[in-house]
């Protein structure tokens, strides 16, 4: 092999190794599991204390406001329900039946949501609408 080929291979190996190491280190520190409520609750004990993202729908009538910024509500997916606790400002579309993704930790008393750890989606806001047909010829 020529010196140029050896230099190119050495450079590729060094850069590839550095990139791989950085990727592995960054992924290890911020691992969060994304699960549905019915995937977690049947084996809740194995998830205690782990940071995860939990998805489900807010159970109708379950939102209770305790204090100015303290909330308790139930989230369901499938046949499983978890009680969630959150302190902070909730999104505008956080209502009964809203689909939510919460980031936090599961404890024996329920799911403790982190600060700014609620994302809510109101299904009616995201349904298809009758948008104008933009494929029509506008040259006339």
SS3 (DSSP) at 46? helix
**Residue 44: pLDDT band with limits 50, 70, 90:** very high
Q: What pLDDT, on a 0 to 100 scale, did the predictor assign at position 126?
A: 47
- The predicted model gives 13-21 an average pLDDT of 90
**Residue 64: pLDDT band with limits 50, 70, 90:** very high
Mind listing the domains of the chain with CATH numbers? Answer: 31-125 (2.40.50.140)
Q: What pLDDT, on a 0 to 100 scale, did the predictor assign at position 130?
A: 52
Q: What pLDDT, on a 0 to 100 scale, did the predictor assign at position 25?
A: 74
Q: What pLDDT, on a 0 to 100 scale, did the predictor assign at position 109?
A: 93
What residues contact 95, with CB distance under 8 A and at least 6 apart? 58, 63, 120, 122
Measured distance CA(15)–CA(35) in Å, rounded: 35
Least confident of 40-49, 63-72, 117-126: 117-126
Number of residues in the chain: 140
């Amino acid at each position: 092999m020529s010196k140029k080929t050896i230099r190119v291979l050495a450079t590729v190996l060094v850069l590839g190794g550095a990139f791989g190491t950085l990727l592995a280190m960054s992924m290890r520190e911020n691992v969060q599991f994304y699960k549905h409520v019915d995937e977690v609750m049947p084996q809740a004990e194995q998830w205690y204390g782990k940071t995860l993202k939990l998805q489900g729908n807010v159970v109708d009538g379950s939102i209770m406001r305790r204090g100015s910024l303290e909330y308790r509500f139930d989230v369901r997916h499938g046949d499983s329900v978890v009680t969630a606790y959150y302190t902070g400002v909730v999104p505008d579309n956080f209502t009964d039946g809203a689909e939510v993704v919460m980031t936090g930790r599961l404890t024996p008393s329920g799911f403790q949501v982190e600060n700014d750890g609620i994302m809510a989606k109101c299904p009616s806001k995201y349904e298809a609408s009758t948008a104008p047909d933009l494929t029509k010829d506008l040259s006339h």
